[in-house]
Amino acid sequence: MGQAKPVLVPDVSQRDIEIAYSFTGAELLLFGAILYPGGRLPNDDKPTDIVVVVRGPVQSILVREKEKVAGIWVNAARLRYRSAPSFYAIASSRPISKLVDDRTQAIYELGLDSLQLSPASSAPLAEQDRFARGLVDLKRRAGLYFEAPRAVEITDGVLYRARLTIPARVPVGRFTAETFLIRDGRVLAAATRDIDIRKSGFERFVARSAERHSILYGLIAVALSVFFGWGAGWIAKRL
């Protein structure tokens, strides 16, 4: 029989996050325990590390590259990605490069440089890499992609916790929080918890109306725009 492996028991502070008009972001606590076979910690000197990855639902994204022509910035080349994560945050007890090799990073998509973004066209590899770096940079500046090395705290080799910030501009949908146990360059255990982020109150009503009654929603939006435009003009004439 093979040697028994440790088991992760993870959890998150919030399984459901509701976004209202006053939502300014949230702090998510990810914590859990490492259960070792027989309840005994390894008796060697190899460190135990934890990596936590929070992903948002995948989405199709079109990335455009701007080019300066006659002093004016215009859209030039573009590349569409079929399944880029809408949100990606990774926290670890040490920098990822010190935990696993490049192959393992690619297999588990550990780190922004290891994301599998699935371009929709067969563009040259150099062009794919350029657009991938541009997409990651845009998401990073928007606060939707980030890395937090050494953000995971491990207590007595058994308990762990990490705090990640969910920004105000976070998309809605089903998120996953994946936890990986790493020792000696190998992923020994992994576990996943789901997180639902959804709109609430009036924002939820508007979002559902736009999704379920798109034609009526569009007509009402146009009518309101015309009404408010007319009202603004009427008030301006009276002043």
What's at 137, amino acid-wise? D
- CA–CA dist 32, 152 (Å, integer): 11
- CA–CA dist 104, 186 (Å, integer): 8
Q: Give pLDDT tens digits for 195-215.
A: 998 876 445 445 454 455 566
Say which range, 3-12, 75-84, 175-184, has the weakest mean pLDDT: 75-84
Q: Give pLDDT tens digits for 32-83.
A: 999 998 888 887 788 999 999 999 999 888 888 776 666 666 666 778 888 8
Say which range, 132-136, 172-176, 198-202, has the weakest mean pLDDT: 198-202
For residue 54, list its beta bridge partners: 89, 177
Whether residue 121 is predicted with pLDDT greater than 70 in this model: the reply is yes
> Where do the H-state alpha helices sit in the chain?
102-108, 125-141, 201-212, 214-238
CATH classification number, 7-199, choose in 3.40.50.620, 2.60.40.3880, 3.40.50.720, 3.40.50.150? 2.60.40.3880
Closest CA relative to residue 177, chosen from 160, 203, 196: 196
SS3 49: strand
Q: Residue ranges per domain, the chain?
A: 7-199, 200-239
- CA–CA dist 162, 52 (Å, integer): 8
Residue 1: its pLDDT value, please?
A: 45
Q: Model pTM?
A: 0.78
Closest CA relative to residue 63, chosen from 84, 49, 48: 84
